[in-house]
Amino acid sequence: MATKLIRAPKIIIIGAGVAGIAAAVTFKKAGFDDFVILEKGADVGGVWFWNRYPGLTCDVPSQLYQFGFAPKPDWSRVWATGPEIQRYHAEVVDKFGLREHVRLNSEVTDAVFDGRGWVVTVADGTELTADFVIAATGVLHHPFTPDLPGLDSFEGSVVHTARWDDSIGTAGKRIAVVGSGSTGVQVVSALQPDAVKLTQFARTPQWVLWAPMGAGQSPVLAKLLAASPELHGRVYAVSLWASGILADVALRPTWRRRALQRLAKLSLRAQVRNKSLREALTPDYQPLCKRQVISGTYYQAIQADNAELVTDKITEVTPTGIRTADGRDHDIDVIVFATGFHPHNYMRPMNLRGRDGLTIDEAWAKGPRAYRMTAIPGFPNLFTVLGPNSPTGSISLQYSAELTARYITQWLHRYAAGEVDTVEVTEQATARFNDAVAEAMGPTVWNTGCNSWYFTDQNTIDLWPFDRKTTTAMLTEPDDRDFLIGSPARCGAVAESTTV
């Protein structure tokens, strides 16, 4: 018998990127449409709105890097470009009627739990209340720029890839790219052809796995998928299954991992014939340990006549360029920082206060931690989507966001039915979960001795070490024993959990 719903939960979703859109569509489909999406940026799309650097491409195939509820048959490329992915997110927002829920240019400064619900303040001073807050604030959001001595004195242009400025103009210039991660590799490939000189400053070389990133998606396939949603569903399911192989490679030290690692080494050997350059490009750690870089063009670009790889440490920036530890001065017009992000800054710098005034900084004094990526002890009726440990590197982000949103929806149903007023995960359940995460991290490739952005200041790995089946099991049915449940019958009092 269907449960009778007696009230509609008021929901605030913070962020209109992949996680926020997944949450909003999932809630709406479940009949909960009393929500507002507060978005700091001037448009939806999250990371795809903020990142607009030349060469931006998603190295996950687009038939996988899409929402399960919004399959797109006609991606123009197998690995779509940033602008096409951004357009897709805007289209999904329109298609599912989210536009009227979204408030752009609305950065949340405060979110405070008042004992029954949340009071959320936006930068312009607007105050909103909600029964539930969904923090879909993303992971790679705050750009990191190293504090290089002399940077202020530089007379040329400086830009971070995550805040690209088209007015700079890079054609015909002497360009420095600092960084050799996924972004650095893409931006080097894109800027090298039109540069007078491109110098890449690479502190640590990365393994770069070859893939034909520019390959178009077949128009015939697009027609077939458009004509048959059933076929499209199957293709998506197969893509999810295939991504499980990559998760397995990351999680377990099997022959499959070794085979992929050999392929990464072969990618370098086959494409870079010059011995000294090859040595400079050879990392001293296992392939896949850092976030795997994929490119079909990088090794060609860095071997071009107008390109140079510099592995000497940057000692200072001068008014006219960059000086390295060997005493060499590199004349530069534009410095491009592809130096990544503050990746563990979830929800910061928001003043987030939970039960009894607990701040998120206090709760996370020992680093970000959540129960199953989504619930934080001390923060009732607040859930994260793609929160701590969200599965970069092992599971489709969209799959995980949708799964988490459906899990949260079950609490919304119980609230709507009048069964619960507040729900808060227990400290014990969270500790148990984090212990399981730490144990499962042991055999992962991320733990094989490299320095990557996956590590927190506390030396934990902020990733997801479980396969999709385990993930799905964890986020299918909430276990009441893991939660403190405040029920209306107890006048909002918090009932003690019975688990240990």
- The contact set with ligand NAP (CB under 6 A) reads 57-60, 140, 146, 178-184, 186, 201, 203-204, 291, 314, 338-340, 392, 453
Answer whether 347's CB lies under 8 Å from 135's CB. Answer: yes
Residue closer to ligand NAP (CB basis): 125 or 449: 449
H or E stretch including 147? none
Q: How far is the CB of 143 from ligand NAP (least distance, A)?
A: 8
CB of 169 to ligand NAP, least distance (A): 22
CB count within 10 Å of CB 498 equals: 8
Q: How far is the CB of 187 from ligand NAP (least distance, A)?
A: 9
Distance (Å, whole) CA 99 – CA 89: 11
Min CB(86)–ligand NAP separation in Å: 13
Burial environment of residue 230 by CB neighbours within 10 A (0 to 12, 13 to 18, 19 or more): exposed
Strand partners, 359: 353
Q: How far is the CB of 78 from ligand NAP (least distance, A)?
A: 13
CA–CA dist 355, 116 (Å, integer): 10
Instruction: Confirm if 193 and 173 have CB atoms less than 8 A apart.
Output: no
Closest to ligand NAP by CB, 164 or 231: 164
CB of 444 vs ligand NAP, minimal distance in Å: 15
CB nearer to ligand NAP: give 146 or 349.
Answer: 146
- 98 or 310, CB closer to ligand NAP? 310
Other beta carbons within 10 angstroms of residue 265's beta carbon come to 15
Distances in Å between the Cα of 137 and the Cα atoms of 13, 256, 343, 412, 470 are 9, 34, 12, 20, 25
Kindly tell me which of 130 and 208 has the beta carbon lying closer to ligand NAP.
208
Taking CA atoms, 488 is separated from 14, 43, 289, 420, in Å, by 27, 39, 49, 6
Residue 369 beta carbon to ligand NAP: minimum distance, rounded to whole angstroms? 21
Give min distance, CB of 42 to ligand NAP, in A: 21
Residue 202 Cβ vs ligand NAP, minimum distance, rounded to whole Å:
6
106 vs 189, beta carbon nearer ligand NAP: 189
* Contact between 294 and 300 (Cβ < 8 Å): no
Least Å from the CB of residue 158 to ligand NAP: 14
Angle at 362 between CA 375 and CA 21, to 5 degrees: 35
Give least dist CB 379 to ligand NAP, A: 26
Identity of the residue, 38 or 177, whose beta carbon is nearer to ligand NAP in the bound complex: 177
- Dig out the tokens for 77 from the structure: 């490329």
10 vs 142, beta carbon nearer ligand NAP: 142
Sequence-distant (6+) residues with CB within 8 A of 15 are: 37, 38, 39, 40, 46, 135, 136, 137, 138
| Distance in angstroms (rounded) separating the CA atoms of residues 155 and 149 | 14
Distance CA 17, CA 49 (A): 8
Residue 415 or residue 454: which is nearer to ligand NAP going by CB? 454
Cβ distance to ligand NAP smaller for residue 43 or 59: 59
Cis preceding-peptide flag for 343 (omega within 30 of 0): no
Contact 138, 49 (CB under 8 A): no
Q: How far is the CB of 204 from ligand NAP (least distance, A)?
A: 3
- 453: region left, alpha or beta (phi > 0 left; psi from -120 to 50 alpha): alpha
Strands (E), 222-358: 293-294, 307-310, 314-318, 321-324, 329-331, 334-337, 351-353
272 three-state secondary structure: coil
Q: Considering the complex, what minimum distance in angstroms separates the CB of residue 280 from ligand NAP?
A: 14
Looking at the DSSP bridge assignments, the partners of residue 459 are none
Between 401 and 485, CB nearer to ligand NAP? 401
Q: Which is nearer to ligand NAP, 65 or 118 (CB)?
A: 65
Q: Is 450 left (phi over 0), alpha (psi -120 to 50) or beta?
A: beta
Q: Cβ closer to ligand NAP: 182 or 261?
A: 182
